[in-house]
Amino acid sequence: MKKLLSFFLIGLMLCFAFTGCSDKPKLDPDNPVTLTMWHVYGEQADSPMNRLIEEFNKTVGAEKGIIINVTLMSNASQIGQKLLDAQDEVPGVPSMPDLFFCHSSNAEELGVSNLLNWNDLFTEDELNNYVPEFLEDGKIGDVLAVFPVSKSTHVLYVAGTQFDRFAKDMDVSYDDLSTWDGFFSVAEKYYTWSGGKPFCALDYPIRCVELNALSKGAENFYTEDGWYDFDNPVFKESWMEFAQAISKGHIVVSDLYSNTMVMTGEVIAGIGSSASILYYNDVITYPDNTTEPMNLQVVPLPKTKDADLLVTLAGVGLCSYKTTEQKAEAAAVFARYITEEARNFEFVASTGYMPVNKGSFEKIKDYAFESKAYENLYTTLFEVNKTATAIREPSFAGYYEKIYALYDRLREMQPQLTERFANGEDAAKLAAETWELFRSIE
């Protein structure tokens, strides 16, 4: 009996010893770990990400013991501030999520040391499956803090029905939109043809200015503290081109998203994220409640004449807030799941993004898209991916707050500029005022 008791005690001690010494808490299907998540996919409309998460929870999540719980849906421009508020525990803001999508700049503001380094959770072989530029875009220093799940670029959306009517009358074509010069010319013609309506709304005008400046040979137009070198002449020249078009009323800085302005017939074109396609209606509705089909066309961003096509590499990535090793393991499982070749393609094909898995890109050509607009978009994206050089968005901490402030000021300013131009003031002078406005942002 004494021996039996001794065996029992030894067994019990070994149990405790092994329990205490296990190197990390493993995932357990009977006791699942819940990861809260904020994302930006389909905030105001349909969310393919939510469906993907639901599918994950039912399958791989249930099998491994992981639950992804979406506690907030936002958008790429606002999620950064919300995350900072959550980190500061601002009342009313949901708790800091375990997983979230944001820009590299947001990640830097949150503190890279607070985020998981995905390099530690993926093997080199696994990382080789992803587009290297996209991985590079998520790096802050040597830390891969922002894992690419989908990437977007900026494209030019055109309301086909209206543009065809205008093109026929004014002898213009989509080819004219391939260069910035052609774009400004078409915008001017449309302004005239429509009786003073802007041709295009720009969601991210500063990116157009940057790409145009780069194509013209501008270098180092960023300062060390993450803003612009206003003494850079090429950069200023590029700004002035866009500013004059804005001053003349030919183009506008969008209210927030250019697609709503296209849908209401305020403009017939919009430069925005490829992911905006999710939000385009099938029809344009005019103030008298008449409608006409949208017939949405998607063309690459215009380029600078005689220069190669430069496109922006945009889009948020997946970050994981450092908490426990168990959650880190669960986050890696989820990241692998949503970026798996076939699944990644299915996801991006319904959201207007570019896949991040190398194998997924090849599937674009043969895919049966849900609408003509999506087909147009992916034809353009495929062409852009083949021919254009992708330029990363700036990831300076605090950069986007200044940019959004600039856009707000420009929106306020542009009706007066247009009015003053109509009253005979010089467009170059008005554009110079916008440059001063730009310089005043600190």
Which residues are near other proteins by CB under 8 A? Answer: 1, 34, 42-47, 50, 57-58, 67-69, 72-74, 82, 85, 90-95, 255-257, 259-260, 263-264, 266, 278-279, 281, 285-291
The tokens for 208 are 């157009």
The distance of closest approach from Cβ of residue 408 to other proteins in the complex, given in angstroms and rounded to an integer, is: 11
Alpha-carbon separation of residue 389 from 153, 218, 239, 314 (angstroms): 11, 16, 21, 13
**In the bound complex, what is the minimum distance in angstroms from residue 65's beta carbon to other proteins?**
12
CA proximity to 337, closest of 115, 45, 37, 49: 49
290 vs 440, beta carbon nearer other proteins? 290
Nearest CB to other proteins, comparing residues 47 and 232: 47
SS3 (DSSP) at 30: coil
Least separation, in Å, of the C-beta of 293 and other proteins? 12
Quick one: 22 or 289, whose CB is closer to other proteins? Answer: 289
Token digits for 111?
Answer: 């503190």
Q: Which is nearer to other proteins, 58 or 305 (CB)?
A: 58
Beta strands in 40-170 (DSSP E): 66-73, 99-102, 139-140, 143-144, 150-151, 154-159
Q: How far apart are CA 218 and CA 310, in angstroms?
A: 13
Tell me the closest approach of the beta carbon of residue 201 to other proteins, in angstroms: 12
CB of 159 to other proteins, least distance (A): 15
Alpha helices in 205-307 (DSSP H): 205-215, 233-248, 258-263
Cβ proximity to other proteins, 167 vs 330, nearer residue: 330
Q: State how far the alpha carbon of 199 is from the alpha carbons of 9, 137, 165, 283, 398, in Å.
A: 82, 32, 13, 18, 31
d(CA 349, CA 208): 25
Q: How far is the CB of 262 from other proteins (least distance, A)?
A: 11
267 vs 199: CA distance, rounded Å: 5
CB-nearer residue toward other proteins: 98 or 241? 98
CB of 71 to other proteins, least distance (A): 8
* Residue closer to other proteins (CB basis): 57 or 185: 57
The pair phi, psi for residue 252, each rounded to 5°, is -135, 155
